[in-house]
Amino acid sequence: MNFNFSNAQERRYESAYRFALDVLDRDAQTRIAQRGLNLELWHQAAAYGFTLGPLSSQFGGEEMGALDTALMIEALGKGSRDLGLSFSLCAHLCACVIPLSRFGSDALKAQYLEPLVTGKLIAANAATEAEAGSDIYAMSSTAQPCDGGYRLNGKKIFITNAPIADLFVVYAKTNPDHGFMGVSAFLIEKGAPGLHIGETIPKDCLSNCPWGELTFHDLFVPETHRIGMPGAGGAIFHDSMIWEKGCLSALFVGVMERLLDTTLAYAKRRQQFGKPVGQFQSVSNRIIEMKLRLEQCRLMLYRGCWRHDQGQDAELDIAMSKLLISEYAVQSALDAIQTFGGAAMEQELGLVRELLNVIPSRIFSGTNDIQKEIMARKLGLRGGRG
């Protein structure tokens, strides 16, 4: 095992961290308090390279593997407190751009990938429904085959980027009797007749990352805008979740390191009873636990991404790392608040908001309960798909 990063990886990480800190973190707390996504910064971040990932150089990408992509996203989480902006970028890349690049036709890739990679277009993934969250294949949206394409009807909820998106990766049933094999994926443009985009729905966490609802009323989708083969939507969704759970979770590894650095610095300078609070065992033990959690998460995430890059089955590793990172990120945010005490309540410091922003990591990309079901299946304790 070689735990050393190459010079190129270290340079990329440091460059991404400096950009996130110097550009994206500037006035972050003001933007977050106003619950507004700064589209100019979104486009700057995309132009810098946060939406390039593993895409082919033919479309402006850098052909990075899962590990390199995760490292870059980790740097984003460490450098910028604007997690809403970061989450929006990662959802665009992991759940939309990557599946289109891996499964889209040559014509779709030629038309859309370059503007998606450079950030000229923003994408949203539309899978979740009111009765189809963890049980995603219980979706009721249908795409009925018709002359030259499909007629799409249904409603999607909790769609990140929906209010600002130019393109939508939409999953719908094309053959309801075939279960997992009866779902197909489609690429739909904003403004398509029959597509209604709801208003931004306020939320308490990741509050400046817009999300909303989509409704489809007899929307015609040309057959050329189907992603992959008919019935391949389940496999496409499953593949994109490997990338999303792995690489998007890296964002919260970066947050954990930022919380550790902030808490450690405070514990060294904050004086009580004539000495820094970090010299009290209860405080130092808390910070040591934060460090241990960070390193455990890194090792598990990096191993899962490395295995995926080697072409191995990394589903178990990715599920374990997603669960571990999300649970530990919440606990580290709580420990940071406990160490700062009353000062943690200051809005400008933003520690309470950090806690709120890491809580969704236990829910998105499959809840942690679902990750345990995946683990049980991979260990032979369950049948079928978890």
Q: Measure the CA–CA gap between 95 and 210, rounded to whole angstroms.
A: 16
Whether 2 maps to a domain, the answer reads no
Check residue 327 and give its pLDDT. Answer: 98
- Mean pLDDT across 76-90: 96
Q: What is the pLDDT of residues 284-301, one digit of tens each?
A: 999 999 999 999 999 999
Q: What is the pLDDT of residues 25-67, one digit of tens each?
A: 999 988 888 888 999 999 999 999 999 878 778 887 778 999 9
State the greatest distance between any 2 C-alpha atoms of the chain, in Å, as a whole number. Answer: 80
Given a cut of 60, whether residue 83 has pLDDT beyond it is yes
Whether 386 maps to a domain, the answer reads no
pLDDT-derived band at 384 (thresholds 50, 70, 90) equals low
Name the domain boundary from 209, 231, 253.
Answer: 231
Same domain, 44 and 74: yes
What is the number of domains present in the chain?
A: 3
Check residue 385 and give its pLDDT. Answer: 53
345 within 8 A of 352, measured Cβ to Cβ? yes
Same domain, 332 and 374: yes
Query: How many residues make up the chain in this entry?
Result: 386
Whether 85 maps to a domain, the answer reads yes
- Mean pLDDT across 161-176: 96
Q: What is the pLDDT of residues 85-97, one digit of tens each?
A: 999 999 999 999 9
DSSP conformation class of 270: -
Same domain, 31 and 147: no
Same domain, 281 and 348: yes
Same domain, 239 and 370: yes
Whether 275 maps to a domain, the answer reads yes
Same domain, 24 and 134: no
Same domain, 114 and 132: no
Is pTM, for the whole model, over 0.75? yes
User: Domain of 174?
Assistant: 124-231
Check residue 1 and give its pLDDT. Answer: 77
Q: What is the CATH number of the domain that holds 340?
A: 1.20.140.10
- Chain-wide mean pLDDT for the chain? 94
**Percentage above 90 pLDDT, the chain:** 84
Whether 146 maps to a domain, the answer reads yes
Whether 1 maps to a domain, the answer reads no
21 Cβ contact list (under 8 Å, min separation 6): 79, 80
Q: What is the pLDDT of residues 357-370, one digit of tens each?
A: 999 999 999 999 99
Same domain, 147 and 94: no
Whether 385 maps to a domain, the answer reads no
180 within 8 A of 234, measured Cβ to Cβ? yes
Whether 293 maps to a domain, the answer reads yes
Please identify which residue in the block is written with the tokens 């190459």: 6
The catalytic site residues sit at 244
Same domain, 252 and 224: no
Same domain, 151 and 263: no
Name the domain boundary from 231, 259, 289.
Answer: 231
Same domain, 98 and 147: no
Q: Measure the CA–CA gap between 75 and 159, rounded to whole angstroms.
A: 25
Q: What is the CATH number of the domain that holds 37?
A: 1.10.540.10
Same domain, 240 and 364: yes
Q: What is the CATH number of the domain that holds 212?
A: 2.40.110.10
Name the residue with higher pLDDT: 182 or 134. Answer: 182
Q: What is the pLDDT of residues 15-28, one digit of tens each?
A: 999 999 999 999 99
Name the domain boundary from 183, 204, 231.
Answer: 231
